[in-house]
């Protein structure tokens, strides 16, 4: 009887200590994710001229199909290659009095900051390098599509609201309403960039989510304390 009582006391101490250890491991992972994310931001910024090229090419094709002949192309900005320069054939009078074809700048990075965020989360996860590379590849494709969405709708928003009746008429002729432009632009700026990388990481690292929350897909709490790596 005394041995059973002593064993229960030891088990009670271990169970009461487990949440603290689990919180510590979660906090350690978050610190690692933050440090990896800083490194990822540097890589993402300095390589933006390269990983932004598919975004520019896809957005160029989409806008060409939507706007027709009045749209010319999207090129890298000559001064800052990570920026996109949207060029049209619409005559526009600039503030200095000159009248030339309308062109303006779009920054694709404001739609793609989820990539270094995902990089930090993935690199801090205790999974194999092969799985990390697979998640990063899938993440790059998803975030690239988010950037394409953002560039397309920001371009349409600026044409519809920023550059006068001629530019607005070009968008109107394409059959896209101003309400749809406003909605899709807000989704591309506020919702998709931070949400997509987090959802992707959760879906591809469900075992870690179960480990830290103690919850399983079937709704049953985890009773073991096993580590999943």
* pLDDT single digits (tens) 54-71: 999 999 999 999 999 999
* pLDDT single digits (tens) 134-150: 999 999 999 999 999 99
38 within some domain: yes
Q: Is 199 exposed, middle or buried (0-12, 13-18, 19+ CB in 10 A)?
A: exposed
- Under 8 Å between Cβ of 59 and 155: yes
89 is in which domain, residue-wise? 21-213
Partnered with residue 74 across adjacent β-strands are 86
The total number of structural domains in the chain stands at: 1
222 within some domain: no
Amino acid 212: pLDDT? 74
How sure is the predictor about 217, in pLDDT bands with cuts at 50, 70 and 90?
low
Work out the average pLDDT over 129-133.
92
| pLDDT over 80 at 154, yes or no | yes
Q: Are strands 99-106 and 71-76 parallel, antiparallel or unpaired?
A: unpaired
47 within some domain: yes
170 within some domain: yes
* pLDDT single digits (tens) 4-63: 445 445 434 433 444 443 444 777 888 989 999 999 999 999 999 999 999 999 999 999
Question: What is the rounded distance in angstroms from the CA atom of residue 203 to the CA atom of residue 30?
Answer: 17
Orientation angle between helical segments 192-204 and 206-213, nearest 10 degrees: 80
């Amino acid at each position: 009887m005394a041995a059973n009582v002593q064993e229960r006391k030891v088990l009670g101490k271990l169970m009461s200590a487990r949440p603290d250890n689990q919180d510590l491991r979660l906090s350690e992972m978050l610190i690692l994710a933050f440090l990896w994310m800083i490194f990822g931001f540097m890589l993402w910024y300095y390589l933006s001229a390269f990983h932004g090229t598919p975004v520019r090419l896809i957005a160029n094709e989409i806008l060409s199909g939507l706007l027709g002949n009045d749209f010319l192309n999207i090129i890298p900005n000559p001064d800052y290659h990570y920026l996109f320069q949207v060029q049209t054939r619409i005559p526009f009078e600039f503030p200095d009095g000159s009248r030339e074809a309308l062109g303006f700048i779009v920054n694709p990075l404001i739609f793609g900051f989820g990539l270094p965020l995902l990089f930090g989360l993935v690199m801090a996860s205790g999974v194999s390098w092969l799985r990390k590379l697979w998640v990063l590849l899938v993440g790059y494709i998803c975030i690239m599509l988010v950037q394409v969405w953002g560039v397309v709708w920001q371009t349409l928003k600026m044409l519809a609201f920023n550059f006068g009746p001629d530019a607005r008429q070009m968008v109107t002729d394409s059959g896209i309403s101003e309400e749809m432009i406003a909605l899709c632009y807000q989704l591309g700026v506020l919702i998709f960039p931070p949400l997509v990388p987090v959802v992707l990481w959760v879906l591809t690292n469900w075992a870690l989510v179960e480990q830290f929350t103690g919850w399983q897909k079937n709704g049953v709490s985890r009773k073991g304390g096993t580590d999943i790596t």
